[in-house]
Amino acid sequence: MTRPARVAARSAVVVAVFGAGAAWSFEARAAGFATARFGGEHGTVVTTNPTALYFNPAGIGFSEGTHVFLDGQLAMRNATWEHTLAPSDIVPQNPAGGEGNAGRAHLFNVFGAPALGATTKLGNLALGAGLFVPFGGRASWDTNGQFVGSQYPLAATDVQR
C-alpha cells in the first residue's frame, strides 16, 4: 500500500470515528407535558385551518373563506410516587417528623385541554384568533390525614412535596 493510500485510509477511519461520535444519540430527557395534540390529524405545521394559529400562523395565508374550529380533549391522570425514609431524613430534634417525608403519594385527576379558533380570508388579508390550552390541568395530590391540624401543617401535603 502506498503512502497516499495509507494516509487516505487513516483519514477515512478518523472521519468515520468522529462522525459516529458526533451522531451518537443519548437518552431523551423530556418533560411529560407534551399534550398539544388538539385538532388530531388536522393540527399540524402544514395546515391551513384555525389550528395553524398555534402550530404555524403563516398557514392561514393559504386558507380560503371563513373557518371556525372547536376541539377539546379529556384526560385522566393517575400517578403514584413512593419515597423510602433515609437515615438523613430523620431530624434529631423530632424523630417522628420524618414520617411526613416517607411513604406513598397518589393522585388521580381529570382535566381537559380546550381549543377554539377562527380564521377568515378577505382577499389577500388573512385574519385569525384563537384560544389554545396545551397543558390543560394541574396535579392535585392526596393529603396525609395524619398531619392535618398538627404542628406540622406542610407534612399534610404528603410526601410528593
pTM: 0.51
| Three-state secondary structure call for residue 52 | helix
pLDDT tens profile 6-65: 888 888 888 888 877 777 766 655 544 445 556 666 778 888 999 898 888 999 999 999
Q: Sign (positive/negative) of CA torsion 148, 150, 154, 155? A: negative
How far apart, in Å, are the Cα atoms of 75 and each of 34, 103, 107, 141, 145? 13, 27, 13, 16, 27
Within-domain flag for 27:
no
The cell numbers describing 147, all together, are: 398531619
Of all residues in the chain, what percent carry a pLDDT higher than 70?
A: 76
Q: What is the mean pLDDT of residues 79-101?
A: 68
Least Cα distance to 59 among 69, 70, 74 occurs for 69
Residues of the domain holding 117: 37-157
Within-domain flag for 5:
no
In the predicted model, is pLDDT for residue 98 greater than 70? no
Within-domain flag for 51:
yes
Within-domain flag for 22:
no
Within-domain flag for 86:
yes
Report how many domains make up the chain: 1
Strand 66-83, strand 103-122: pairing = antiparallel
Are 114 and 75 in contact by the 8 Å Cβ rule? The answer is: no
Within-domain flag for 140:
yes
Are 146 and 158 in contact by the 8 Å Cβ rule? The answer is: no
Are 128 and 119 in contact by the 8 Å Cβ rule? The answer is: yes
Within-domain flag for 136:
yes
More confident position, 133 or 54: 54
Within-domain flag for 132:
yes
State residue 59's pLDDT score.
92
